[in-house]
Chain A
């Protein structure tokens, strides 16, 4: 070992065997990190290539404007809107559950709960996020749908409401944990200043803590919605495989992800239009979730409140 500063070993330095060995090792580690870049490139390449093949048979205008989706069974129709609609119904429905419940939970844990309670409740809720989504699908079929049928007996086995409810439950901890982190980061000085002005605890929570942590809270909403858009197994089992544009939550629908499952379990031959449609729908899904994730990152960095 020479008397070089060891923190400055670089790939370019030559000389002793040690140096060359270190450069080789560094290269191996870099290759591991580069796998993640290749993964992204691979995803984009695979989706775009499959989509190009698909759009050689189907016009993009038809894909984006037609309101019937039936790529495998004739009469063929290639309008993706029913699938996008299905995904939107699930996403909005689950947001209606997870956002109010998750935010109120975060306020309770951050502002009202005893620290000991918070230490138990927060990880308990996070269990919800760790349960495999296939289990939520089963839960929808065996518990939520029968529950809905008790009030609306005409509801079928597959319905959008059950899908939205289980996905909503699944993403509660994303909203509650990330929002709670943001709320806990608001310094006590701000709370005390408001108390000094005569604010009640309710006013401190809603007019000081929530606005001060808003960027983190909104970022958690978007991440949760992005997860709901990409959610697959629970909505496949709960909401069915019937692509249609309907506002009735008790009707079956099909999301983009559920369509991909349907093709995945059927014997569609490689090169057929059904196989190619997988990649067109996959690309649509990827673009939607990617833009949500980027938006969340942007909001977080753009509107971040820095407190010491």
Chain B
């Protein structure tokens, strides 16, 4: 029967096939809804739980052990040191990743010839992207906190997050560099530019929107990461924002973890309020990234 038609009508009749087809579409459609319903449920859950708890005091006061302080009319308590800590942490991470990520991508796209070392580096980057974030936390703990003796500091946290998102930044930057047409490089060489001048004056300016979009999206992943900064030793009981690179720091996901693991059910509302602040910042970062892409991307 090797030449037989596998789809030829057997004993089944058309009506039955139609029924199977309809049932199958229904199942596939319902499955698509599962993900969407879960997303809606998650957002609704966070909004309901946080309703009335995200106040101005929540944004501007340090945390408290006493739930009454978070309530309106209380002494005021909130997420301030962690909010500022997260912003410092991400700003610092941004500086390191832009330097290292763009540098690595420029090397791989513009300089490296296709040899074994290059393909090893690229395969290694692909593998690093799959390493669990908590393992990066162990790396940060052993190297930055202990060996280099930076302690549980802002800079140790930022360096750990840098290594975590570096693979993603490199890959997205490579894509941005690849989208610059070769004719533009050749034109610059034709008027006598050196390779460095071509990269600096032609390739990078043209790839900049793509690089920025990819970097901001990676940073928005870093700002929500808990496990790496937890291993590095982010604090949960700080009352002031970090005042230097080697100062101890707190960060929003760490505070949310601390609040969510409290047995007191009232603290669930505080955790939800923290999540609203974190997700708002994430949303803003993503909006900026999409805005840059839509504005400068020649394809859209």
Q: Which residues of A contact B (CB under 8 A)?
A: 1, 6-7, 9, 18, 21-22, 25-26, 28-37, 39-40, 42-43, 46-47, 49-50, 100-105, 107-109, 112-113, 121, 124-125, 127-128, 130-139, 141-143, 169, 172-173, 176, 194, 197-203, 205-207, 223, 226-227, 229-233, 236-237, 257, 260-261, 264-265, 270, 278-279, 282, 285-286, 289-290, 292-294, 297
- Determine which of B36, B123, B220, B227 lies in contact with A125 in the assembled complex, contact meaning CB atoms within 8 Å: B36
- B92 within 8 A of partner (CB): no
Are A135 and B36 CB-contacts (below 8 A) given A32-B103, A202-B17? no
- Distance in angstroms between the alpha carbons of A233 and B32 in the assembled complex: 26
For the complex with contacts A7-B189, A297-B126, 4 further pairs of A-B residues with Cβ separation under 8 Å are A104-B28, A127-B39, A130-B286, A230-B133
Q: Which residues of B contact A (CB under 8 A)?
A: 5-9, 17-18, 20-21, 24-25, 27-32, 34-36, 38-39, 41-42, 45-46, 49, 99-104, 106-108, 110-112, 120-121, 123-128, 130-139, 141-143, 146, 163, 166-167, 170, 189, 192-196, 198, 220-221, 224-227, 230-231, 233, 253, 256-257, 260-261, 268, 271-272, 275, 278-279, 282, 286
Q: B132's closest neighbor in chain A, by CB?
A: A230
Residues of B within 8 A of A133 (CB): 224, 226-227
Say how far A274's CB is from chain B's closest CB, in angstroms.
13
B142, A50: Cβ atoms under 8 Å? yes
- Distance in angstroms between the alpha carbons of A125 and B6 in the assembled complex: 35
B121, A6: Cβ atoms under 8 Å? no
B194, A46: Cβ atoms under 8 Å? no
Residues of B within 8 A of A121 (CB): 32, 36
Say how far B211's CB is from chain A's closest CB, in angstroms.
14
- Distance in angstroms between the alpha carbons of A289 and B134 in the assembled complex: 12
Across chains A and B, the number of contacting residue pairs, with CB separation under 8 Å, is: 279
Say how far A26's CB is from chain B's closest CB, in angstroms.
5
B25, A134: Cβ atoms under 8 Å? no
Say how far A175's CB is from chain B's closest CB, in angstroms.
10
B227, A40: Cβ atoms under 8 Å? no
Say how far B273's CB is from chain A's closest CB, in angstroms.
11
- Distance in angstroms between the alpha carbons of A26 and B226 in the assembled complex: 36
B49, A101: Cβ atoms under 8 Å? no
- Determine which of A37, A141, A142, A223 lies in contact with B130 in the assembled complex, contact meaning CB atoms within 8 Å: A223
Interface of chain A, main secondary structure? helix
Q: List 29 A-B contacts (CB under 8 A).
A: A1-B192, A25-B196, A26-B107, A28-B103, A29-B103, A29-B106, A32-B101, A32-B103, A33-B103, A36-B125, A46-B138, A101-B35, A102-B31, A132-B282, A135-B256, A141-B268, A142-B49, A142-B272, A172-B34, A200-B21, A202-B20, A202-B25, A232-B132, A233-B227, A236-B257, A257-B227, A261-B230, A270-B146, A297-B123
Say how far B38's CB is from chain A's closest CB, in angstroms.
5
The 10 closest A-B pairs by CB, nearest first: A230-B132, A132-B224, A32-B103, A104-B31, A108-B28, A29-B107, A199-B7, A293-B130, A33-B104, A202-B21
Residues of B within 8 A of A138 (CB): 46, 256, 260, 268, 271-272, 275
A43, B194: Cβ atoms under 8 Å? no
Are A108 and B103 CB-contacts (below 8 A) given A260-B138, A290-B127? no
B139, A37: Cβ atoms under 8 Å? no
Are A128 and B21 CB-contacts (below 8 A) given A36-B128, A36-B167? no
Are A100 and B7 CB-contacts (below 8 A) given A40-B128, A237-B257? no
- Determine which of A113, A198, A229 lies in contact with B132 in the assembled complex, contact meaning CB atoms within 8 Å: A229
Say how far A148's CB is from chain B's closest CB, in angstroms.
14
Are A141 and B31 CB-contacts (below 8 A) given A29-B103, A46-B139, A289-B130? no
Residues of A within 8 A of B30 (CB): 104
Are A31 and B25 CB-contacts (below 8 A) given A36-B124, A237-B261? no
- Distance in angstroms between the alpha carbons of A278 and B267 in the assembled complex: 29
Residues of A within 8 A of B28 (CB): 104-105, 107-108, 112
A285, B20: Cβ atoms under 8 Å? no
Say how far A208's CB is from chain B's closest CB, in angstroms.
9
Residues of A within 8 A of B36 (CB): 121, 124-125
- Distance in angstroms between the alpha carbons of A285 and B136 in the assembled complex: 12
B138, A279: Cβ atoms under 8 Å? yes
A37, B124: Cβ atoms under 8 Å? yes
B139, A33: Cβ atoms under 8 Å? no
